[in-house]
Amino acid sequence: MDPRIDPSTGDYSGERITSLANAVYVRLTTPLGSWWADPTLGSRLHELERELDVSRVRILARQYAEQALKTLIDTGRAQSITVTAIQVRKSWCDLHVSVIDNTSQEQHFKHPVKVA
């Protein structure tokens, strides 16, 4: 079990969790190609900070998240991943990620994304 990383602050929350939650967090917050050990790890979500807050940005956020999390399926850590993007307030989009892990347990994660 790993310490849980709080997506809203990036700090440890004090809780202990399975490593799948941290794997989702790391893949969504790391800019694609920026980690030296694995250039395929990460997402393009950081690019959305420069985009206008329009409906197509939510579509891009969902697609970027799905691309980043696809490696969890490819490596067998998850059976399926569903991502929905919802605008909750101006300049912010929340990603709701549902992951069915390799033990058929469903886990839910929420990840905020800043858009211009």
Question: What CATH architecture is 2-114?
Answer: Roll (3.10)
Residue 97 and residue 103: Cα distance in Å, rounded?
Answer: 17
Q: For the chain, which residues make up each domain, given as ranges?
A: 2-114
When pLDDT is averaged across residues 34-62 and rounded to a whole number, the result is: 91
Joined together, the tokens standing for residue 116 give: 């211009």
Contact in structure between 51 and 60 (CB atoms under 8 Å): yes
pTM: 0.83
In whole angstroms, give the CA distance from residue 64 to residue 59.
9
Rounded Cα–Cα distance for residues 105 and 86 (Å): 24
pLDDT value at residue 6: 66
Confidence band (pLDDT; 50, 70, 90) for 14?
A: low
Residue identified by tokens 């206008």 is: 52
